[in-house]
């Protein structure tokens, strides 16, 4: 596999960005989804389906679709979106009248390596609380323990799992001890090799740049993460966590390449993207060259008093992610993805924008699964179902600031590759039923 140097990576990303901007998505810096294009729409009225999601208000920003529709899924893929599909044509019906039906949510920053990282939660158990079908592990595993993540989490979860490999070989196993206090844990060659060997699972390198994580090592962990990404030859991205980062934040931001991900962009933990009321020019410049601005709410990384001026001054999010983990889940900000999305409704984004920032946009960052994050015919049959609850609601950030809203999204259920989490499994998976049941 040829080495990809920094210049090639930038060139590659810039070309992709041009193509994406030219296509009118308004979301620069990210390559379009790779792999074979979804098969063309052939709308056969006699076609039979494994599952029909019936009567919901379907909202898919990727095709400017919003309206009451039935969605037909067969063999794990979306095969039809019609005003009505007869129940005679399907093995199962998931009733969705009065509900909001959107592409399966994609959470770009989550911690889903239970029992092995210091923070992990079991992804499938999150589904009733999140209706999320794809989770990206944000550095739970490093090169020494990613095999366990691959075999015991990704291979066994019903949810779709990808990950950023931590630049530290031990990942977040040592949490809360800073994994980059000792740079000996950063093995660039081993990280690069691990990325190259697992391109279907690993989309990049994670690094945390907080003073309590890196000690006196400054920005060296970030530089090593970028080296590993470039050495891997996989166009790997770097996801960098900020919040009380060492040194000048602008220096850190200037290191990020197009396609890299700045997570905790609205952290108020210190050394913030907004200083003295002004968003840092280096943060705007990063966004402009295609660095992905990610929310990563978590237990200590989302502050309304940073987010509001940042957004007003142009540092808008590209992706809304939760940073859900065993510690953040019980904090007052309750960073379950639909709840975090609801906060952005309150911040003035439209429902379409918010859905897009938690579906098509993070799917494009993943760039591994054609059609992911959309409901296009031929796309994976990943669907999230919500109730849109109207009425007064109070949101709390991680600094305990409160904001009043008028609407929130309540998770109802999710469908992954055509299999709903809430219905009996169709054959051949056994489901307890009386002998002779028709």
DSSP letter assigned to residue 15: H
Which of 138/279 has CB closer to Zn ion? 138
Q: CB of 198: closest distance to Zn ion in angstroms?
A: 20
The residue range among 130-138, 142-150, 175-183, 275-283 that interacts with Zn ion, by the rule CB under 5 A, is 130-138
What SS3 state is found at 365? helix
Check residue 323 for interaction with Zn ion (CB under 5 A): yes
Q: Which of 127, 138, 279, 370 binds Zn ion (CB under 5 A)?
A: 138
Which of 9/135 has CB closer to Zn ion? 135
Q: CB of 102: closest distance to Zn ion in angstroms?
A: 24
Task: Name the E strands within 302-430.
Answer: 383-396, 402-416, 419-420
| 188-227 burial code (b ≥16 CB/10 A, e <16) | bebbbebbeebeebbbbbbbbbbbebbeebbbbbbbbbbb
Rule CB under 5 A: which of 340-369 touch Zn ion? Answer: none
Rule CB under 5 A: which of 69-98 touch Zn ion? Answer: none
Task: List the one residue out of 244, 181, 247, 252 whose CA is nearest residue 217.
Answer: 181
Which of 294/382 has CB closer to Zn ion? 294
Question: Which residue stretches of 291-348 are H helix?
Answer: 304-312, 337-346
Alpha carbon distance 236, 68 (integer Å): 39
Task: List the one residue out of 289, 278, 139 whose CA is nearest residue 210.
Answer: 139
The residue range among 31-39, 166-174, 220-228, 323-331 that interacts with Zn ion, by the rule CB under 5 A, is 323-331
The residue range among 120-128, 133-141, 271-279, 350-358 that interacts with Zn ion, by the rule CB under 5 A, is 133-141
Check residue 209 for interaction with Zn ion (CB under 5 A): no
Alpha carbon distance 298, 125 (integer Å): 18
The residue range among 28-36, 54-62, 83-91, 135-143 that interacts with Zn ion, by the rule CB under 5 A, is 135-143
Check residue 179 for interaction with Zn ion (CB under 5 A): no
Q: Which residue is nearest to Zn ion (CB)?
A: 323
Alpha carbon distance 265, 256 (integer Å): 13
Size of the site for Zn ion (CB under 5 A): 2
Site for Zn ion, rule CB under 5 A = 138, 323
């Amino acid at each position: 596999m040829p080495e990809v140097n920094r210049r090639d990576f930038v060139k590659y990303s810039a070309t992709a960005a041009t193509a994406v901007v030219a296509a009118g998505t308004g979301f620069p810096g990210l390559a379009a989804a790779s792999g074979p294009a979804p098969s063309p729409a052939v709308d056969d009225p006699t076609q039979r389906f494994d599952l029909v999601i019936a009567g919901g208000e379907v909202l898919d920003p990727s095709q400017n679709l919003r309206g009451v529709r039935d969605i037909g899924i067969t063999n794990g893929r979306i095969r039809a979106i019609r005003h009505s599909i007869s129940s005679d044509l399907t093995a199962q019906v998931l009733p969705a009248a009065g509900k909001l039906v959107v592409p399966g949510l994609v959470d770009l920053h989550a911690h889903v390596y239970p029992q092995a990282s210091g923070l992990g939660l079991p992804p499938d158990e999150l589904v009733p609380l999140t209706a999320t079908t794809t989770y990206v592990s944000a550095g739970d595993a490093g090169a020494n323990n990613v095999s366990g993540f691959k075999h015991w989490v990704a291979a066994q979860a019903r949810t779709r799992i990808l990950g950023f490999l931590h630049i530290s070989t031990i990942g977040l196993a040592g949490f809360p001890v800073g994994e980059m206090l000792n740079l000996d844990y950063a093995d660039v060659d081993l990280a690069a090799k691990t990325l190259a060997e697992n391109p279907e699972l690993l989309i990049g390198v994670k690094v945390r740049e907080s003073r309590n994580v890196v000690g006196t090592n400054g920005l060296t962990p970030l530089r090593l993460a970028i080296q590993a990404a470039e050495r891997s030859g996989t166009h790997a991205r770097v996801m960098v966590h900020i919040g009380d980062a060492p040194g000048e934040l602008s220096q850190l931001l200037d290191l990020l390449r197009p396609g890299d991900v700045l997570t905790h962009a609205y952290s108020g933990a210190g050394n913030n993207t907004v200083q003295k009321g002004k968003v840092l020019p280096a943060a705007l410049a990063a966004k402009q060259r295609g660095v992905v601005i990610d929310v990563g709410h978590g237990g200590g990384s989302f502050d309304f008093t940073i987010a509001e001026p940042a957004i007003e001054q142009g540092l808008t999010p590209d992706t809304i992610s939760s940073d859900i983990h065993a510690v953040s889940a019980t904090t007052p900000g309750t960073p379950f993805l639909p709840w975090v999305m609801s906060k952005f409704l309150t911040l003035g984004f439209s429902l379409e924008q918010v859905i897009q920032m938690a579906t098509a946009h993070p799917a494009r960052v993943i760039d591994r699964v054609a059609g992911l994050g959309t409901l296009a015919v031929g796309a994976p049959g990943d669907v999230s179902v919500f109730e849109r609850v109207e009425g007064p609601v109070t949101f709390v950030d991680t600094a305990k600031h409160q904001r009043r809203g008028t609407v929130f999204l309540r998770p109802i259920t999710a469908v992954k590759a055509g299999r709903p989490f809430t219905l009996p499994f169709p054959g051949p998976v056994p489901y307890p039923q009386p002998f002779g049941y028709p």
